[in-house]
Amino acid sequence: MNSPTSSEPRTTPLSQAHRRLGAKMIDFGGWLMPVNYPSGILEEHKATRTAVGMFDVCHMGEIHFRGPRAAEAVQRLVTNQVGKLFDGRAMYTVACNPTGGIVDDLIVYRVKADHFLIVVNAANIAKDHRHFLDQVGSWCEIRNASDETGLISFQGPKAQAALAPLTRAPLASLKSFHFLTDVEVAGRPAWIARTGYTGEDGFEIFCAVADAEPLWQALLDACAGLGGKPVGLGARDTLRLEARLSLYGNDLNDQTTPLEAGLGWVVKLDAGDFVGRAALLRQHEAGLTRKLAGFVMLGRGIARHGYPIHDPASGAKVGEVTSGTVGPTVGKNIGLGYVPVALARAGSRLLIDCRGKPIEAEVVEGPFYRRS
Amino acid sequence: MSENVPNDLLYTEDHEWARQEGNLVTVGITQFAVEQLGDVTQVELPREGETLKRREVLGTVESVKAVSDVYAPISGKVVKVNSPLHDSPEYVNEEPYDGGWMVQIEISRPDELKELMNAQAYEEFLKEHEG
């Protein structure tokens, strides 16, 4: 969250904490982030599925909308129905450009009727902020608080048990996609949201940048006794892909629409006149030509971002893998990619070109992993 | 030499190791390579009987986060492959110089051995190139 001085990657307030833990650090979209800690990606993945994983997501962006027209401004920007939110309720949605392409995928939090928070992807903070200002800058106050806000994600079946001793906030009654403001965690002022990006139950804890490291240490101590671990970007990717959660920059970008991306459930065409609505309505009426398909590899091979996808019938290249990995919990190699709609149906076969070797894959519907 | 770079092996700049025994070399990837890759989840190996030239791709190692080619450190015929790696790729992480070996090659051009680094040279190479 330091300002970039040159091409040096930016660091989060937890950078020193990661080094002390022995993390392997990489430059990820301009941010120096832990890719894994000494126990490795598979162990970190497993810890999150069976106990608790904690993630530094301080690099993510927080943009506040305040004023009597805040709700109207947010609705102009996003495809989901903002009017359904109430104080303390959040929702997943996307912001589109006028042609229906996705500017970013994000979570909108309604703090009060005249105060909304939008959490955006780290790599998109500047782009989103500019887009928001361009579209609705005169409607309400829009403030980018990314540099002063810390965010730690605490995910897994034991997340509530691990977090409970550190806070008096009523965690048990906090439902999914609900959040609490003005609470304390480990004696530090914080907001707690029941959200995440792993397919597990869990929390995301917002705090002041200065409190991020002490809070991280307290959470680390709290989860250690329950088998919890810090988790890097490597396992964050295997966890989110098993849960079939999209990654902006891979599965979503300015050229893909939410309808193509399988995010039709966050597009409410009657929610209001949001940016991109007309284009999405046209696409909805005309029908899709391509869709983001999830697939499991049938042969030995791991699909990776950018690998060509071929139609087994014609041999023609029909798309590219947008995300692919080992699915440690599902025990299969899995991936996502845009393919023609006829090939996007469950049961369709695809050939993934794994560095010259065609490996068969089968299209499946829904998440690869669902928590029990 | 540290235990991460055994004394009795020869090394390439691509982080393969080779253990010479008579006219055979056993080949694997080094501890350093393994640490860079992280958890290995899949290993692709050549067929026994295949002939390889030095620096030709011998196989691939896939970890959760990346895929990496393994190159033949020396020209020759593949006389044996470590087929248990198909089902237990984690041997590469756990014992890269032992159970994680990949192939055995019958040397066709013995003078190529001179082009490989000894342990000391490889350690220096690591220091220079990889910090």
- The nearest CA of chain B is from the CA of A269 a distance in Å of 38
Report yes or no: A355 at the B interface, CB cutoff 8 Å: yes
Q: Which of B28, B68, B35, B46 is nearest to A304 (CA)?
A: B68
Dihedral sign, Cα of residue B22, residue B27, residue B33, residue B39: negative
Cα Rg of chain B (Å, integer): 14
Q: State whether B62 and A41 contact (CB < 8 Å).
A: no
Q: State whether B42 and A325 contact (CB < 8 Å).
A: no
Q: Which of B45, B91, B120 is nearest to A300 (CA)?
A: B45
Task: Give B10-126's CATH code, choosing from 3.90.740.10, 1.10.3720.10, 3.40.50.1820, 2.40.50.100.
Answer: 2.40.50.100
- The nearest CA of chain B is from the CA of A36 a distance in Å of 9
A-chain residues within 8 Å CB-CB of B89? none
Nearest to B41 among A35, A237, A302 (CB): A302
A-chain residues within 8 Å CB-CB of B64? 41-42, 234-235, 238, 325-326, 328
Q: Count CB atoms within 10 A of the CB of residue B81.
A: 21
Chain B interface, mutation test: which of A46, A233, A302, most B Cβ atoms within 10 Å? Answer: A302
Q: State whether B65 and A41 contact (CB < 8 Å).
A: yes
Q: A173-176 contacts: CB < 8 A, separation 24 or more?
A: A176/A201
Residue A152 has what DSSP assignment? E
- The nearest CA of chain B is from the CA of A355 a distance in Å of 10
Helix (H) or strand (E) holding A293: strand A290-297
Q: Which of A63, A56, A60 is nearest to A13 (CA)?
A: A56
A-chain residues within 8 Å CB-CB of B41? 302, 326
The helix/strand/coil state of A326 is: strand
Q: What angle do CA A93, A94, A95 make, to 5 degrees?
A: 135
Is the pLDDT at B54 greater than 80? The verdict is yes
ipTM over 0.90 threshold = no
Is the pLDDT at B65 greater than 90? The verdict is no
Retrieve residue A45's tokens: 């993945």
Q: What is the pLDDT of residue A6?
A: 57
Q: What is the pLDDT of residue A153?
A: 98
Which residue in this structure is represented by tokens 């590899």? A297
Given a contact cutoff of 8 angstroms between Cβ atoms, the answer to whether A150 and A217 are in contact is no
Superfamily of domain A10-57+147-242: Probable tRNA modification gtpase trme; domain 1 (3.30.1360.120)
Residue type at A83 in one-letter notation: G
| Angle in degrees, 0-180, between the axes of helices A41-50 and A233-242, rounded to the nearest 10 | 50
Q: pLDDT tens digits for A100-139? A: 999 999 999 999 999 999 999 999 999 999 999 999 999 9
Given a contact cutoff of 8 angstroms between Cβ atoms, the answer to whether A166 and A173 are in contact is no
Residue-level pLDDT, tens digit, chain A, 372 residues: 555 455 789 999 999 999 999 999 999 889 999 999 999 999 999 999 999 999 999 999 999 999 999 999 999 999 999 999 999 999 999 999 999 999 999 999 999 999 999 999 999 999 999 999 999 999 999 999 999 999 999 999 999 999 999 999 999 999 999 999 999 999 999 999 999 999 999 999 999 999 999 999 999 999 999 999 999 999 999 999 999 999 999 999 999 999 999 999 999 999 999 999 999 999 999 999 999 999 999 999 999 999 999 999 999 999 999 999 999 999 999 999 999 999 999 999 999 999 999 999 999 999 999 998
Q: pLDDT tens digits for A61-78? A: 999 999 999 999 999 999
Residue type at A135 in one-letter notation: Q
- What is the pLDDT confidence band of residue B1, given thresholds at 50, 70 and 90? very low
Q: Which of A25, A34, A28, A256 is nearest to A121 (CA)?
A: A28
Which residue in this structure is represented by tokens 């209001």? A272
Q: Which of B36, B51, B38 is nearest to B89 (CA)?
A: B38
What pairs with residue A94 in β-bridges? A105
Retrieve residue A25's tokens: 């650090």
What pairs with residue A7 in β-bridges? none
Q: Which of A72, A66, A62, A63 is nearest to A140 (CA)?
A: A66
Residue type at A251 in one-letter notation: D
Q: What does pTM read for this prediction?
A: 0.92
What pairs with residue A31 in β-bridges? A10, A28
Q: What is the pLDDT of residue A321?
A: 98
Given a contact cutoff of 8 angstroms between Cβ atoms, the answer to whether A344 and A366 are in contact is no
Given a contact cutoff of 8 angstroms between Cβ atoms, the answer to whether A50 and A159 are in contact is no
Q: What is the pLDDT of residue A29?
A: 84
- β strands within A49-88, DSSP E: 53-56, 61-66
Domain ranges of chain B: 10-126
The helix/strand/coil state of A277 is: helix
Q: Which of A139, A1, A84 is nearest to A266 (CA)?
A: A84
Please name the residue of chain B whose CA is at the shortest distance from the CA of residue A305.
B66
Nearest to B38 among A41, A237, A300 (CB): A41
Task: Give A289-364's CATH code, choosing from 3.40.109.10, 3.40.50.10680, 2.40.30.110, 3.30.43.10.
Answer: 2.40.30.110
Cα torsion for A32, A33, A39, A45, to the nearest 10°? Answer: -160
Given a contact cutoff of 8 angstroms between Cβ atoms, the answer to whether A24 and A232 are in contact is yes
Domain ranges of chain A: 10-57+147-242, 289-364
What pairs with residue A185 in β-bridges? A188
Is the pLDDT at B131 greater than 80? The verdict is no
What pairs with residue A236 in β-bridges? none
- What is the pLDDT confidence band of residue B129, given thresholds at 50, 70 and 90? confident
Q: Which of A92, A117, A116 is nearest to A105 (CA)?
A: A92
- The nearest CA of chain B is from the CA of A237 a distance in Å of 9
Which residue in this structure is represented by tokens 């509530």? A160
Q: How many residues are listed for chain B in this entry? A: 131
What pairs with residue A357 in β-bridges? A354
Residue type at A347 in one-letter notation: G
Q: pLDDT tens digits for A197-245? A: 999 999 999 999 999 999 999 999 999 999 999 999 999 999 999 999 9
Dihedral sign, Cα of residue A168, residue A173, residue A177, residue A182: negative
Given a contact cutoff of 8 angstroms between Cβ atoms, the answer to whether A259 and A83 are in contact is no
- The nearest CA of chain B is from the CA of A360 a distance in Å of 16
